[in-house]
Amino acid sequence: MCGIVGYIGHKPAFPILIKGLKRLEYRGYDSAGVALIESSDLDIFKKKGKVSELEKFTETNSFKGTIGIGHTRWATHGEPNDRNAHPHYSHDQKLAIIHNGIIENYGALKTELTEKGYEFRSDTDTEVFITFIEDIKKSLDLNLEDAVRVALTKVVGAYAIVIMSVEEPDKLIAARKGSPMVIGLGQGEYYIASDATPIVEYTNEVVYLNDEQIAIISRENLEIVDTKDVPQEAEIHKLDLKLEAIEKSGYDHFMLKEIMEQPNSIADCMRGRLNANEGLLTLGGIREYAEMITNAKKITIVACGTSWHAGLVAEYIFEDLCRIPVEVEYASEFRYRNPIINEGDILFAISQSGETADTLAAIELAKSKGAFVFGVVNTVGSSISRVTHEGAYLHAGPEIGVASTKAFTAQLTVLTMIALRIASKKGTISDSKYRELLVDLENIPGKVAKALETDKTVREISALFKDAKNFLYLGRGYNFPVALEGALKLKEISYIHAEGYPAAEMKHGPIALIDENMPVVFIATRDSSYDKIVSNIQEVKSRKGKVIAVVTEGDVLIPKMADFTIEVPSTHEALMPLVSVIPLQLLSYHIAVMRGANVDQPRNLAKSVTVE
Q: How far apart are the two ends of the chain, measured CA to CA in Å? A: 10
| Cβ–Cβ under 8 Å, residues 11 and 66 | yes
Q: Say whether 64 is catalytic.
A: no
Burial class (CB in 10 A: 0-12, 13-18, 19+), 404: buried
Say how many CA atoms lie within 13 Å of 558 toward its Cβ.
28
DSSP per-residue string spanning 270-326: HTTTEETTTTEE--HHHHTTHHHHHT-S-EEEEE-HHHHHHHHHHHHHIIIII---E
- Please state the φ and ψ torsions of residue 22, each to the nearest 5 degrees: -65, -40
Q: CA geometry: angle at 518 spanning 515 and 520, to 5°?
A: 115
SS3 content of the chain, % helix, strand, coil (to 5): 40, 25, 35
DSSP per-residue string spanning 141-180: T--HHHHHHHHHTT--EEEEEEEEETTEEEEEEEEEEBS-
Distance CA 552, CA 549 (A): 10
| Cβ–Cβ under 8 Å, residues 128 and 103 | yes
Say how many CA atoms lie within 13 Å of 448 toward its Cβ.
27
**101 DSSP β-pair partners:** 159
**215 DSSP β-pair partners:** 174, 224
Out of 2, 269, 304, 322, pick the active-site residue.
2
**45 DSSP β-pair partners:** 34
Q: Say whether 322 is catalytic.
A: no
- Please state the φ and ψ torsions of residue 239, each to the nearest 5 degrees: -75, 130
Q: How many CB atoms lie within 10 A of CB 463?
A: 12
| Cβ–Cβ under 8 Å, residues 120 and 74 | no
**412 DSSP β-pair partners:** none
Q: How many CB atoms lie within 10 A of CB 77?
A: 15
Out of 110, 406, 491, 607, pick the active-site residue.
607
Q: Which residues contact 60 (CB under 8 A, 6 or more apart)?
A: none
Residue 603 vs residues 28, 288, 312, 494: alpha-carbon distances, Å: 10, 43, 27, 10
Pick the closest to residue 273 from 153, 413, 412 (CA basis): 413
Pick the closest to residue 175 from 66, 244, 99 (CA basis): 99
| Cβ–Cβ under 8 Å, residues 552 and 573 | no
**Local structure of residue 427 (DSSP, 8 states):** T
- Please state the φ and ψ torsions of residue 413, each to the nearest 5 degrees: -65, -50
Residue 299 vs residues 302, 374, 375, 552: alpha-carbon distances, Å: 10, 10, 13, 32
Q: Please identify every residue annotated as catalytic.
A: 2, 607
